[in-house]
Structure 1
């Protein structure tokens, strides 16, 4: 598996597993940035709070972020005003700008050494001016300091660029290590189920007055039915030496747009977005490598890794009360590709709901929302994708014979009369697993860029041995 520059540069100390039952004020499930920040604020509010992590703190999506802290989330504001009105758009802007400010405050007041750097954030297009011009007008209407033009530091001309000042970037795991230090955390403690105020793990039962699910993708199918309201997408990153020394952070809004962000003497180049489970041809890293050689022929690759993001029906995260039938449960999910800022928004919003019963941003992020005009088309597409994934298991013939599978490749093959997933390593050893996702039964697809089995329905992922990488699945694949 690929490893990010954050993982290489910062290790977090191990924490013990749960050893028996607990009765607490609040329990947070998930040890990424959202979970750690939520536990931090709840503890600061005087609640005994425990954090339960299935593996290691920071071992999920947080370690794979590009670590931009920004209220600029693509072409979000024009879309929000058009679909939902100015007030929800203003709430979204206020929440995310507050998140940037809160990171700044915590770094300063807690003295956290995490390479926190103030930097402008840019959206750019090499083809069209109008979408960015509309977003500029929307930002101005919401009181966001923005500038519009066509001058950037990028090594190619752009048709238009939109700049937000007062944004930032940092080293996420160094920040996480500092914030997690004083918290009551139990690693190696996967949660198996939640019933009322009781959390069941293999290592004991936790009773909590308030329960927060901050585990990237909710593993409980009901209530909430988040698997019907989200899909997951993957994206890819190269860390380059000897590339441009940029000041700002950049994101292309075109279909094939690239992301750029400096970190020390490196430049992070990102792109290659696709729905999880739809990369059978591979080549995402190669496309980034070709772009790197085009723009910086003398550059060298220092690291390569990928990330996974939950995408909601209307492009806004689900943050707040988990469902109408579970008043003491809360959720933080669907961060799109803006996990660092959304993690802080989640922590502040959920802490407000738990301690005060309200939040000024509750309306725009509420998981109970359903806006037909904003969501219907996406819901239909996601439902069709899930049906396609389920049908594929029964209708698609095996694509290769196991003996014909080349070394270093994986695929769905015929083996002992059944369809199975096979990866054959460079030595010719075959690793055989079930291609049925244990979450809801969709047929998995091989991702050659990551040597993983990915679910096209809901985004669960497994390594070539069948070990679980990403939820909502809670267990690995059956081996043969």
Structure 2
């Protein structure tokens, strides 16, 4: 399941770190946030190295829909009500500045990455809600407007009352962008970080001593301090690249859990949706698959002449208040920094992170720092934190109290499940030709019981979102090792 970006771009491979080195700053993670942060620091005179466990752009960046926008769904009115107008204004200013910074970098560096300036729309059936959102956006200084569907400015075949438009947003090819920008940087690939002690980052074959350390790893892998595992959860979503679906101008997302996302890339229409918490279905309970099929059904209904050219999925970290954590990792680690919790807005949030962390490390005041401060806490977050904690307790309890109802011999070909073996519970996948793959069903992160994802033939953690392939190899953190059966 290779994304359209991976199919259309190759990035030069770098060597692994094999010695001890020193730098002013070490960035752990070579996705969009890590590469942009390193770029901003280097431009400010901070000698920076990037350590990437596999390949740069090979994590969530390659799976994005690559919308560069300050429009993060129907968020303006809600943000004002919960956090106040000043905080909301800082949030949108930071994200709109991020949009403009992408355009500047691409222009100044002469990067060919299919950049297109376009308008962003969030559509809904609720006309009053749309008008209220447009009004709130205007109050915050956004170039926004309400567009009624009858005005034929909405170019997607969905039923809606209209949409809120943010003008002058953008879209691009994320891997072409990273491929070009990374040529300015010192990067080590195939260099997973094993441990971080104060100002030293340790890997299997080398180490980096740095004055500042930035964790841009999607989900922070160090549990204490910070306790990010207790303050975020992860969600999955799915994308189809469709040929023969016509062309649209603008980037679109619907309001609500079942809404769809649309954007154009070259001759492909990218249709996204079917989001759910990792390891669970939307309404809770064991994830039973079908996300791709439901999205394909929507594609057949909306674009009956279309043909699927690619399909892929993405995973997003979501904080309790749906605002990213960008800033100091913890109060007792003043030289550690973190960028995580981007929800579905990784492109703009990556640039916000890069600009804010650059300012913090270089001693420049940034007015949006308080909004994204990882140490923030408010009473409104308690229900979501309690909900996430309950999911973790449930996942842990399954490890001890869940009794499998089948054995490996009873498993149908092409299926996976937690089964009973002579040595206790195990995760088993049986291929179509009857080959058995057995894994340890306990997540090595914090011990929750994994669940089978039939759509992607993976083992997913419903507690904190770690994922593993059916052979036991690690795909997604925060876990740092696989689940190979011993």
Mapping for residues 51-200 of structure 1, pairs under 5 Å: 51-125=50-124, 127-151=125-149, 152-200=154-202
Whether the 8 Å CA contact 1:445–1:454 is kept in 2: the answer is: yes
Q: Any idea what the Cα deviations from partners look like across 1:225-267, whole Å, max 9, x if unmatched? A: 0000000000000000011311011101122101111101100
Correspondence 1:332 to 2:334: no
Secondary structure at 2:184 match in 1? coil
Q: Which residue of 2 is the match for residue 241 of structure 1? A: 243
- Superposition map of 1:387-406 within 5 A: 387-406=393-412
CA distance in 1, matches of 2:454, 2:61: 23
Output one character per residue of 1:442-470: Cα deviation in whole Å (capped at 9) or x when no partner: 00011111110000000000000000000
Counterpart CA distance in 1 for 2:344 and 2:176 is: 20
Q: String of CA shifts for 1:292-319, please: whole Å, max 9, x gaps.
A: 1111111000000000000001010000
Tell me, in whole angstroms, the C-alpha distance in 1 between the residues paired with 2:33 and 2:67.
15
The 2-side partners of 1:143 and 1:156 are apart by 29
CA–CA separation in structure 1 for the residues paired with 2:427 and 2:100? 47
Q: 1 CA distance for matches of 2:196 and 2:256?
A: 42
The structural deviation recorded for 1:75 is 1.8
Distance (Å, rounded) in 2 between the aligned partners of 1:176 and 1:328: 26
The alignment partner of 1:400 has SS state of coil
**Kept after mapping to 2: 8 A contact 1:129/1:160:** yes
Are 1:226 and 2:225 counterparts? no
CA offset at residue 202 of structure 1?
Answer: 0.8
Aligned residues: 477
Find the partner of 1:286 among 285, 293, 303.
293
Question: Which whole-Å CA distance do the structure 2 matches of 1:45 and 1:387 have between them?
Answer: 45
Distance in 1 between residues matched to 2:246 and 2:372, nearest whole Å? 37
Deviation at 1:44, TM superposition (A): 0.9
Partner residue of 2:433? Answer: 427
Structure 2 equivalent of residue 211 of structure 1: 213
The structural deviation recorded for 1:132 is 2.2
Runs of 4+ in 1 over 4 A off after TM superposition: none
Local SS of the residue matching 2:443: coil
Residue 17 in 1 paired to residue 24 in 2? Answer: no
Query: TM-score, normalization: structure 1?
Result: 0.98
Whether 1:50 aligns to 2:30 is: no
Confirm or deny: 8 A CA contact 2:272 2:295 kept in the other structure.
yes
Q: Secondary structure at the match of 1:309?
A: strand
Partner of 1:437: 443
CA contact (8 A) 1:399 1:411 kept: no
For residue 357 of structure 1, report the CA deviation from its aligned partner.
4.4
SS at match of 2:272: strand
Structure 1 distance, partners of 2:163, 2:301, is: 21
1:417 CA drift (Å)? 4.0
Match of 2:90, SS state, is helix
**3-state SS of paired residue (1:453):** strand
Deviation, 1:134, is: 2.4
Question: SS where residue 98 of structure 1 aligns?
Answer: helix
Map Cα deviations across residues 72-120 of structure 1 (whole Å, 9 max, x no partner): 0012221211111111101110000000000001111111000000111
**Secondary structure in 2 matching 1:80:** helix
Q: Does 1:462 align with 2:468?
A: yes
Match of 1:309 in 2: 316
Instruction: After superposition, give the CA deviation of every residue in 1:159-191 in whole Å (9 maximum; x if it has no partner).
Output: 231111110000000000001112111111111
Cα 1:162–1:399 change in 2 (3 A) is farther
User: What residue number does 1:350 align with?
Assistant: 357
1:358 Cα shift? 2.8
How far does the alpha carbon of each residue in 1:182-231 deviate from its partner, in whole angstroms, 9 at most, with x for none? 21111111111111111111111211001100010000001110000000
State how far apart, in whole Å, the 2-side matches of 1:221 and 1:101 are: 34
> What residue ranges of structure 2 are gaps of 5+ in the alignment?
282-286
SS at match of 1:181: helix
SS in 1 for 2:349: helix
Instruction: Tell which deviates more after alignment, 232-241 or 45-54.
Output: 45-54
Whole-Å separation in 1 of the counterparts to 2:218 and 2:403: 33
- Corresponding residue number in structure 1 for 2:284: none
Q: Does 1:446 align with 2:448?
A: no
| Match of residue 361 from structure 1 | 368
Q: Distance in 1 between matches of 2:207 and 2:256?
A: 48
Distance 1:297 1:80 in 2: 38
Residues 410 and 451, structure 1, Cα contact 8 Å, conserved in 2: yes
Stretch deviating more after TM superposition (448-457 or 130-139): 130-139
C-alpha RMSD of matched pairs (Å): 1.0
- 2: CA distance between counterparts of 1:131 and 1:214? 35
Which residue in 2 is equivalent to 1:28? 27
- Residue 377 of structure 1 aligns to a residue whose secondary structure is helix
SS in 2 for 1:139: helix
Secondary structure at the aligned position of 2:164 is classed as strand
